[in-house]
Amino acid sequence: MAMDKLYEFLTGPALWITVIIFAGGLAIRLAWLFGLSQERDKPWHDFKSAVWAWRSIIHWVLPWASVSSRNQPVFTGAVWVFHICWIGVPLFLGAHNMLFEQAWGWSLPSLPDAVADWASLAVIACGVFFLLRRLSRPEVRILTSAWDYTLVLLALAPFVTGWLAFNQYGPYGLMLNLHIFLSEVLLIVLPFSKLAHMVLFFASRSAIGYEFGTRRGARVW
């Protein structure tokens, strides 16, 4: 009974609070950064170019398209798989789409459960690889703080608990509630941490495209 009440709270009031903080936090951060750029780099706004913005974005989204990504092929592959699965599984998981339909009256196409299951394992495996890389490579370890390790673990936690709940390892009700709770914590933290790069990446790559492409006539990949 306690687990049921907790589930109702997490999928009800807590979910709406999470969505408001997540969306509002991202909007405020984007607006603040845009205002800061207008104040400190006014000439940059005179060189905006959608063509150079998309060229910059695409060359960094596609695996091994940029020179720096080709210099680290294994890491680049892991990053690409991680991000595709990390974003794709929550959006296209069948169980999530049932919740979308119940809450908002719409849903997205759903992945087969087996595909989502393996994609979740891929996220976990890549996350473990990132942690080991940070621990083993001195040039990465020296730049890594305790908070960075926490963010990696937080990004993995919903997938670990979701995979355990789906495959019914451990108490199902506990794993399900942990999965929802940790997912909501992740979404609340995301706009105010380095994890916001999931959105800010497009802004920063566009800015670099403007700077080097339109302003300097050179590419940076």
Query: Per mean pLDDT, which of 8-12, 177-181, 195-199, 210-214 is the most reliable?
Result: 177-181
* Better-scored residue on pLDDT, 49 or 26: 26
* Three state DSSP letters for 69-136: HHHCHHHHHHHHHHHHHHHHHHHHCHHHHHHHHHHHCCCCCCCCHHHHHHHHHHHHHHHHHHHHHHHH
**Where do the structural domains in the chain lie, given as residue ranges?**
2-216
pTM score, two decimals? 0.87
pLDDT exceeds cutoff 70 at 35: yes
**What local confidence, expressed as pLDDT, does residue 125 receive?**
98
What pLDDT shows up at residue 215? 61
- The verdict on domain 2-216 having CATH code 1.20.950 is yes
Give yes or no for a contact between 10 and 177, defined as CB atoms under 8 angstroms apart: yes
- At 89-145, the pLDDT tens digits run 999 999 899 888 877 788 899 999 999 999 999 999 999 999 999 999 999 999 999
Mean pLDDT of 51-67: 81
